[in-house]
Chains A and B, each alone.
Chain A
Amino acid sequence: MKNYFKCLYNWIDERVQLEDLVKFMGKKYVPVHRHSIWYYFGGVSLFFFIIQVTTGILLLFYYKGSSDLAFESVQFIMSKVQFGWLVRSIHAWAANLFILSAFVHMFSVYFEKAYRKPREMTWITGMLMFFMCLGFGFSGYLLPWNTLSFFATKVGTDIAGNVPIIGGPLKVFIRGGDDVTGATLSRLFGFHVALFPGIFTILLGIHLILIQRQGISEPVHFSEKPASEKKTMPFFPNFLLRDLLLWLIVLNVLAILAVFLPADLGIKANPFASAPAGIKPEWYFLFMFQSLKYFPSHILFADGETVGILLFGAAGVLWLLIPFWDRKSSRGEQNRFVNYLGLFAVIFIIILTFLGWLS
């Protein structure tokens, strides 16, 4: 048995020099310190992405992206296809956990200042992938075509329509018309299964190559230590195996969630019905949705919601470009302002999500 593997390995090695890759990975080290745990969330996010792609492809075999069949086909997957309920529930749960782990990954990188020179590009690609995750969530939510998702999409695209200047055309572009209809479904379906995964894969490729190329970032306090005191662990196999171990645990959690709290189906969307009370977006949009509610209807001469959207847009750009304005960290100095800003963001998001959840 072992010899067969060896043979196969040698066969490939002769042709693509696997030995070099193993040596390269073996030389890579992961710093070990009290914040090492956060290194795993990138890997966990990657694992969720793999799960989403796999289950997504499986769902695609039976799903039909048209307004008269979407709901029925999801119902069909849930009841007629063997393990269809499991595949759909895992897809739904993994989507939520994916975004959660992406949030954690993002904030850990932020607080460790891992975005500082020379890793600006890794941060930018990561942030773009994060925005794309939200896009995945938004577009995927409509696909079962049930009442809740229909009206959430309506409200969501309405908010997008409030962006100054480009808002109107943007709304029409997302909706594929003036209103949320079957055309919107086709469009978001296209985004969800073709456009977004394509772009995401390219970004992910760049992101991973950069990490392999530049190695794992060391936090400021760690890099200041003398070389003899730096504790490390080989990336291969030690770190990778730990990653795998965590993936298995995550898979278990996912399976338990999918069986005990399966994704429900709701009632088929009826575009002519009146909106049910208390339509809320998915939890990861809740903090924005909730804070927009607190804006007064008019601020000076502008519409309150528009101002809110502009503020969120500005905050997003600021956040995206942090490696370029946080010069202190790049020089290896402490930047307390960045820490406080991050802390404020975390607290803001948690409190408003909570408030939105309560209302």
Chain B
Amino acid sequence: MKKKIIILTLFFFSALLFGQKKNEASSDQCFICHESVGSTEADLYKKDIHFSKGISCADCHGGNSQTDDMDKAMSKAAGYKGVPKGNAITQSCIRCHANPAMMKKYGSKIPTNQYANLKNSVHGRLAINGSEMIVQCITCHNAHGIVAVDNPASPVYPTNIPATCGKCHSDPVFMRAYNPALPVDQVQKYRTSVHGIRNAKGDPKPAQCVSCHGSHDILSVKDPRARVYPTNIPSTCSHCHSNAEYMKQYKIPTDQFANYSKSVHGIALLQKHDISAPACNSCHGNHGATPPGIESISEVCGTCHALNAELFSSSPHKKAFDERKLPECTTCHSNHLIITATNKLLGVSQDAVCSKCHKPNDPSKGYMVAKEMKQMIDSLDSSEKNDSALVHEAEQKGMEVGDALFKLRDAHQARLESRTMVHSFNEAKFNETVNKGLKVTTEVKTEAEAAIHEYYFRRIGLGISVLIISFLALLLYLYIRRLERK
């Protein structure tokens, strides 16, 4: 009951306030006159949020709005400015929009830092004429007929943003003046993305330009503070994609970011700040963001992991995977949660990926081959480890093992190559690589053992000299005895 009264009272007062303002506006002589001559500006201004708040034409254009004498109203003496040009446009907006007290007076809750952000953004740089910012408020928000952002009629309403940004960013001639290397196909690509298709259907929730790039505070991709700087991309995407509530209606998982952060790629990018490591957009695309299709996965991963992709494509698995509609790399390596591949993936044990398809009663050779490959790579692994221990033992004993250490690099290389060679799923090719490594480890083992043997051999030299010294000592003893017996 109480609530109702409060609401009613509020309603009453606001109606009162509104009516009063309307009166004020209708006494705006500029507007009355310009409307009567059928000016488009005046027509548009009728729908403007500023009009409804009682802001007069003179508040931006200067002059005296109280008189209907044109000469007086638009005289310099009355402060008439005419149509503001360049930065003067933005200056007239920020008289209120950068002034919290003023905004409060009009009962607005919108932020007042837009100008500060704009000034520091890429759009705040000087335009080619050298006298104004590239972008003024009206470039995106229009001049007359400005409506609230959440009004679908606004040029900055989510579904209108791609077109608004595209006004400049899809114009090659315009963009060449500022950033000739920057592509101009973003909107075109965007329309092919999942985001863009939904956006075109009128859904305001999917990401559009400002969701990722920011609005007033847009920074260059190369700026580490930018939301689209490689290391910031995962958190930018996760802003929506990890929000289960927000994503509910789209029925897709929301654990990608959590998984990615734990993956080898996520660790490289987010913890080691290796910006060559892939972020979300490296696989999904950015403006054209879409999950890669099953057939294209190996091509996508192959942009970096080329050798593996190439080997896979010419392997017997290619056909088998295609027939069963299995996604290529991710079937074994997972997608967002790609952890460092270890030898454990290979083989026929419980946690090995081969055993997911290849069973002991497999009609093809798969099971046997997986088992053998695993044995081969394990033996290379352990002989490399043994060698390394032997060489370091010899080194600690002060033996010269530079050659063996140098050769050990080849074993390391053969091990890494054989891990790549697994993707050929060809036993002969794989064995060739592993055997190359095993040959090296045998050589290193021989050398290291020889060095350790040499270390113990030193004792023979010691034996000889101890013998000589003891012999001399004995003679000396006899000599002293003889001397003293005299």
Instruction: Please tell me whether chains A and B touch each other in their complex, using a CB distance cut-off of 8 A.
Output: yes
- Give B95-133 interface residues, CB cut-off 8 Å to A: none
A237 near B483 (CB under 8 angstroms)? yes
B462 near A238 (CB under 8 angstroms)? no
**Interface 1/0s, chain B 127-154, versus A by CB < 8 A?**
0000000000000000000000000000
> Counting CB contacts under 8 A, is B469 at the interface?
yes
Complex formed: what's the CA distance from A101 to B470 in Å? 21
Partner of B469, one of A80, A251, A262, A264: A251
B476 near A241 (CB under 8 angstroms)? yes
- Give B366-402 interface residues, CB cut-off 8 Å to A: 395-401
A248 near B472 (CB under 8 angstroms)? yes
A80 near B400 (CB under 8 angstroms)? yes
A245 near B477 (CB under 8 angstroms)? yes
> Counting CB contacts under 8 A, is B3 at the interface?
no
Number of interface residues of B (CB under 8 A): 22
> Counting CB contacts under 8 A, is A259 at the interface?
yes
Partner of B466, one of A85, A245, A252, A264: A252
Q: Which single residue of chain A is at the shortest CB-CB distance from B395?
A: A79
**Interface 1/0s, chain A 85-105, versus B by CB < 8 A?**
100000000000000000000
Complex formed: what's the CA distance from A247 to B417 in Å? 60
CB distance from B457 to the nearest CB of A (A): 11
B462 near A242 (CB under 8 angstroms)? no
Complex formed: what's the CA distance from A237 to B476 in Å? 12
Complex formed: what's the CA distance from A244 to B473 in Å? 8
A255 near B477 (CB under 8 angstroms)? no
B398 near A252 (CB under 8 angstroms)? no
A248 near B473 (CB under 8 angstroms)? yes
Q: Which single residue of chain A is at the shortest CB-CB distance from B466?
A: A252
Partner of B400, one of A79, A251, A265: A79
B470 near A238 (CB under 8 angstroms)? no
A259 near B480 (CB under 8 angstroms)? no
Complex formed: what's the CA distance from A256 to B462 in Å? 7
A238 near B480 (CB under 8 angstroms)? yes
A252 near B469 (CB under 8 angstroms)? yes
**Interface 1/0s, chain A 252-267, versus B by CB < 8 A?**
1001100110101100
Residues of the A chain whose Cβ atoms lie less than 8 Å from the Cβ of B362: none
B476 near A248 (CB under 8 angstroms)? yes
Residues of the B chain whose Cβ atoms lie less than 8 Å from the Cβ of A85: 398
> Counting CB contacts under 8 A, is A347 at the interface?
no
Partner of A78, one of B398, B462, B470, B472: B398
Complex formed: what's the CA distance from A256 to B461 in Å? 11
Residues of the A chain whose Cβ atoms lie less than 8 Å from the Cβ of B484: 233, 238
> Counting CB contacts under 8 A, is A249 at the interface?
yes
Residues of the B chain whose Cβ atoms lie less than 8 Å from the Cβ of A241: 476, 479-480, 483
Residues of the A chain whose Cβ atoms lie less than 8 Å from the Cβ of B465: 255
> Counting CB contacts under 8 A, is B2 at the interface?
no
Complex formed: what's the CA distance from A265 to B459 in Å? 20
Closest 10 CB pairs of A and B: A78-B398, A248-B473, A259-B462, A85-B398, A79-B400, A245-B476, A252-B469, A241-B480, A79-B398, A252-B466
17 contacts between A and B (CB under 8 A): A78-B398, A79-B400, A84-B398, A85-B398, A237-B483, A241-B480, A241-B483, A242-B480, A245-B476, A248-B469, A248-B470, A248-B473, A248-B476, A252-B473, A262-B397, A264-B396, A265-B396
Given contacts A248-B472, A248-B473, 14 further A-B contacts (CB under 8 A): A79-B395, A79-B398, A79-B399, A80-B400, A84-B398, A85-B398, A233-B484, A245-B473, A245-B477, A248-B470, A249-B473, A252-B469, A259-B458, A264-B396
